[in-house]
Structure 1
Amino acid sequence: MYDESQPEPIVEPDTENKTTFHGNDTEANYGERYRLDNSRKFKNHYDRLSRHNRGVLGEWFPREKRREADNLAILDAVANYLEFPEYQHRVARQEFDRAPLKEWSSPNGIDATITAIMICAVVGLKDPRFGREYNPDRKNESQDELFLKLLMSLPYRASVVRSCYQKALRHVEWEPVDWEEYINP
């Protein structure tokens, strides 16, 4: 697993299959010879294998696993945008991972993005030391600027935001630890 605070290495595969293909290698002179799989060029063949390896093409990568990876990437993007500290980011990721997205989802309503934002809002609310708080029932003047900016850039209705926030509030069971008690008893 990669450290989310560091950029992901481009040359390493991110799937369980550890084979690396370099389909865009223009230095190699593969020529125009036909391959046994009927791809016209070696480059096309290795591009196709690379897509299989990343799970973009074919049935080798389970859809559930791909969806889970995509959803966690959404949460990571939201937490990074909100400048969450590593600890809160990790907690938000765990809570999001166990959230029942299928039960919460609705057409033209709650989706993975708004769920990620609202879980981050609840984690921020439960740990006020950090200062990133959002509650859809408060006036905009008392909201965190990054939450407001993010939500204003997305097309969610206020009723959807409130509904998802209430679900996230009931879902998140995490209580922050007061580290001062452990350091100075």
Structure 2
Amino acid sequence: MQFDEYDEAAEEPIISPDTQNATHFHAEEAPFEHRAKFKRFHGYNSGVWNGYWADKTELRRLDNLALYDAISSQLELTNYQKRRGRGLFDSLNLNALGHSAALIAVCVCAYVCRDDGRMYHPYRKLENNDSLFVDFVEGLGERKNVVAACYNRVIRALE
């Protein structure tokens, strides 16, 4: 096994945490005078902030995953479906799909649910579609052809 030369005098870059850290600091539970410190510790441990700048890409990813979690709960997915869909949603390049993250999340949920018999497609008859999906998509205010285009793009990206 070959080891690379390590320069002790060189400054080490601080761009990401060394390991995934599961410790959570809850600043609101700390005494008032220590809250800023605990908020800073939380930023360090989450890997999204190093004290000087935040990783905007990681923050956006975490926001999108939280959005997926909320939508999958509202659509009453099982725990297995939520986990499977979350991984699929995280693997997608949302910018390349060209639709809102919420609409993409609904389409991923529909993709995951179809294996268990819960079907949704915007052009299916209402009685053949899952009512939770129909109601949720109507609340988004998107036209049918936009929802269908997003659904088809998501399916192609996942298969």
* Fold shared by both chains (TM-score > 0.5): yes
What is the distance in 1 between the residues matched to 2:118 and 2:36?
43
Q: Which residue of 2 aligns with 1:35?
A: none
Q: Which residue of 2 aligns with 1:83?
A: 76
Report the AA paired with residue 140 of structure 1: L
Q: Which residue type is aligned with residue 154 of structure 1?
A: L
- Separation of aligned partners in 1, 2:109 and 2:26: 37
1:111 aligns with 2:103: no
Per-residue CA deviation, residues 30-88 of structure 1 (Å, 9 max, x unaligned), is 7xxxxxxxxxxx47xx35862783569x7543111111111111111121112212222
Per the alignment, in what secondary structure is the counterpart of residue 140 of structure 2? coil
Does 1:172 find its partner at 2:121? no
SS in 2 for 1:153: helix
What is the aligned-residue identity percentage?
32
CA contact (8 A) 1:123 1:172 kept: no
What is the distance in 2 between the residues matched to 1:165 and 1:116? 10
- Partner residue of 2:112 out of 123, 128, 135: 123
Deviation at 1:115, TM superposition (A): 0.3
Q: 2:152 matched to 1:147?
A: no
| Unmatched runs of 5 consecutive residues or more in structure 1 | 1-14, 31-41, 174-185
Shift of 1:20: 2.6
Query: 1:152 corresponds to which letter in structure 2?
Result: E
Query: For the structure 1 residues 52 and 153, does the alpha-carbon distance in structure 2 shift closer, same or farther, using more than 3 Å as the test?
Result: farther
Residue from 54, 57, 78 that aligns with 1:61: 54
Show the counterpart of 1:163. 149
What amino acid does structure 2 have at the position aligned with 1:124? C
* 2:6 maps to 1:20: no
Give 1:146's aligned amino acid.
Answer: L
Partner of 2:89: 96
Task: Decide which structure has greater helix share.
Answer: 2
Query: C-alpha root-mean-square deviation of aligned residues, in Å?
Result: 2.8
Selected match of 1:71 from 47, 64, 72: 64
What is the distance in 2 between the residues matched to 1:122 and 1:89?
Answer: 11
Asked if residue 134 in structure 1 is aligned to residue 126 in structure 2, the reply is no
CA distance in 2, matches of 1:61, 1:22: 18
Q: Quick check: 1:21–1:49 contact (8 Å CA) kept in 2?
A: yes
Shift in Å, 1:137: 1.5
